[in-house]
Structure 1
Amino acid sequence: MRTVIMKEGATTHEGVVVKDNGNSDEVSSYYRFSQLLSSKDRDFLLSPTGAQVKVSDLEGKVVGLFFGANWYPPCRGFTQMLVGIYEELKSSVPQQFEIVYVSSDEDLDAFNGFYGTMPWLAIPFSDLETKKALNRKYEVEGIPCLIMLQPDGSKEDATIRDGVELLYRYGIQAYPFSKERLEELHEQEREKRENQTLTNLLANNHRGYVLGQNGRIQVPIASLVGKTIGLYFSAEWCVPCVKFTPKLISIYHKIKQELSEMRSEEDFEIVLVSHDRDQASFDSYYSTMPWLALPFGDPEIKNLARHFDVQGIPCLVIIGPNGKTITCHGRNLINLYQENAYPFTGEKVEQLEKQLTEEAKGLPRLVRHEGHRHELNLVSDGNGGGPFICCVCDEQGSNWAYQCLECGYEVHPRCVTNAC
């Protein structure tokens, strides 16, 4: 290891400046990035053009370390989103932001193919030691992973380790990815939740309506105020969505019918928030549905996904008559309680849970199920159960389940009854 004598008594080992007071945290961004991203044989990073970019060029910038690999689909999906954010930031703050790819690709060809889709810098594929050191330092346990480093290296707690979640939630609004900016965004979210109404969720300056009758009419958003509304995040390309939609249609009709028969002043409606990839897919998918929809590609779709932190689809968010969020777990409640879940409030769920507990007292403790070779035990949250995916209907369940203690096979009690 080489030692370089610096002015004013400071010394550096492999480019890490240690000041006279002995506090190695107080380092410039140049030497910090040099320590992290250089090696004894290399002081540069790769660029998409094949040119070598000096690590020193990162001085003074916010730097994102992107840990990923070509073989993992979520990395490919996240990369597409990250490219859009990167290019937008580089056009607005070109000298203040950069990303460095830290590859876990299988071989050089895979690295070249995947890196070819990226517009940012990369550590050479051959430098295994630097990549391993970065994985150890930031305790990277899964990919994609995005670590955000601030220019001021003296504040280690300023490092943001959940950059992937941060970008999915806030997008470019998260820049400059500092703790202070996150606090601002959290405060904005809190205020938005407190002031949330159906109108400010669904409308914008150019549109005060949603689509009805498969897009043939415009329904004023004002006419939905005072109703219980389900925001259905879904898409035709999503297999779980295509499986869940027919069930939701059936439940929707049953709830509407019950409210009509009761001559209730209450009403229930669903609005599709489409994640389809093109207009034709949206039109095809929406044509199967009896409810309302936001127009395809509407800017509020991304805002709603961020506002409700939608991590996957299908997702059913329930908004109460007062415009406030009742639950983001409407899909799970539909699976558990069908139409009885309406109006999805905490009080109703508590009532249904007590009812399930009473019904479970009459269920057999052990059953034989034709879909499985072992005996199944009746379990609850308190004795070995908990959230699960039913092996018969592929939908989520909780509370009571029949579980195989030998291999973890779990089914809804109703699915065992139906299948036996």
Structure 2
Amino acid sequence: MMKRVRWAVTLFVIASLVIGIKWYVGQQEEKLKYASLFLSKEYESYPATDFSLLDINGQEVTLSELKGKPVVLNFWASWCPPCREETPTFVKLYEKYKEDVIFLGVNLTNTEQSVENVRKFIKDFSVSYQILLDEQGEVAKTYQITGIPETFFINRDGMVIYKYSGAIGQEELEILIKKML
């Protein structure tokens, strides 16, 4: 009986160590990813292409009219798992930086089953930043979107200073926002 208890405790300790080591290695990999992102050569900026789209409430939004404030421009769809993964981060950082940075979510509406799916997504994730509807996919084509999510960081002068492909983490998003301020 005592051998079984010792054996069970030993297995528990070993399993705990393995889990702890895996967690630690994962944390270090994330730090290296952040470091490589910002220690790599400077991203070559270029003028953001202007566009006008209707938001989810039918209001027209024109990118060039937002000049003077940095813009986080995120292309997404409600059916996209990585988009669903990153949305809480956008919601959180929008609340933190909404006085200084404009957040625009460009929904690839032409890939959605219905606009109601977009409305449900907005409600489910408590999205309070502006959601634009790219109903024909023209803005996505203009910005050469090859996969979603993709996020563009546009400084107050209307220059794209960085493009991030894939789901972005909170630390990365915040570093890029601060870079625009």
AA at the equivalent of 1:302: A
AA at the equivalent of 2:142: L
The match for 2:96 among 226, 230, 254 is 254
Distance 1:311 1:236, change over 3 A: same
Distance 1:339 1:330, change over 3 A: farther
- Structure 1: runs of 5+ lacking an equivalent: 1-192, 204-208, 261-266, 349-420
User: In the alignment, which residue of structure 2 is the partner of 1:283?
Assistant: 119
SS of equivalent residue, structure 2 residue 156: coil
The match for 1:300 among 138, 152, 161 is 138
SS of equivalent residue, structure 2 residue 179: coil
CA distances 1:326-346 after superposition (whole Å, capped 9, x unpaired): 10028776533453442335x
Aligned length in residues:
132
Kindly state the Cα deviation for residue 210 of structure 1 after the two structures are TM-superposed: 4.1
| 2:50 is equivalent to residue 201 of structure 1 | yes
User: Which is bigger in relative contact order (C-alpha 8 A, separation at least 6)?
Assistant: 2
Kindly state the Cα deviation for residue 298 of structure 1 after the two structures are TM-superposed: 3.8
SS of equivalent residue, structure 2 residue 148: coil
Considering only aligned residues, what root-mean-square deviation do their CA atoms show, in Å? 3.0
CA distances 1:140-180 after superposition (whole Å, capped 9, x unpaired): xxxxxxxxxxxxxxxxxxxxxxxxxxxxxxxxxxxxxxxxx
Distance 1:327 1:222, change over 3 A: closer
**Using the alignment, how far apart are the partners of 1:333 and 1:237 within structure 2?**
17
AA at the equivalent of 2:93: I
CA distances 1:218-261 after superposition (whole Å, capped 9, x unpaired): 445454121111111111111111111011110111122xxx5x
User: In the alignment, which residue of structure 2 is the partner of 1:274?
Assistant: 107
SS of equivalent residue, structure 2 residue 71: strand
SS of equivalent residue, structure 2 residue 133: coil
Tell which deviates more after alignment, 227-236 or 215-224.
215-224
Q: Percent identity?
A: 20
**Using the alignment, how far apart are the partners of 2:79 and 2:137 within structure 1?**
20
**Using the alignment, how far apart are the partners of 2:86 and 2:168 within structure 1?**
12
Larger C-alpha radius of gyration, 1 or 2?
1
User: In the alignment, which residue of structure 2 is the partner of 1:322?
Assistant: 157
**Using the alignment, how far apart are the partners of 1:295 and 1:216 within structure 2?**
9
AA at the equivalent of 1:225: K
Kindly state the Cα deviation for residue 300 of structure 1 after the two structures are TM-superposed: 2.9
Distance 1:296 1:311, change over 3 A: closer
Distance 1:301 1:338, change over 3 A: closer
User: In the alignment, which residue of structure 2 is the partner of 1:127?
Assistant: none
**Using the alignment, how far apart are the partners of 2:167 and 2:78 within structure 1?**
20
CA contact (8 A) 2:50 2:63 kept: no
TM-score scaled by structure 2?
0.58
Distance 1:334 1:321, change over 3 A: farther
Pairing 1:235-246 to 2, within 5 Å after superposition: 235-246=77-88
Distance 1:332 1:302, change over 3 A: closer
- Structure 2: runs of 5+ lacking an equivalent: 1-44
The match for 2:171 among 336, 361, 365 is 336
TM-score scaled by structure 1?
0.28
Distance 1:327 1:239, change over 3 A: same
**Using the alignment, how far apart are the partners of 1:299 and 1:249 within structure 2?**
24
AA at the equivalent of 2:82: P
Which structure carries more helix by proportion?
A: 2
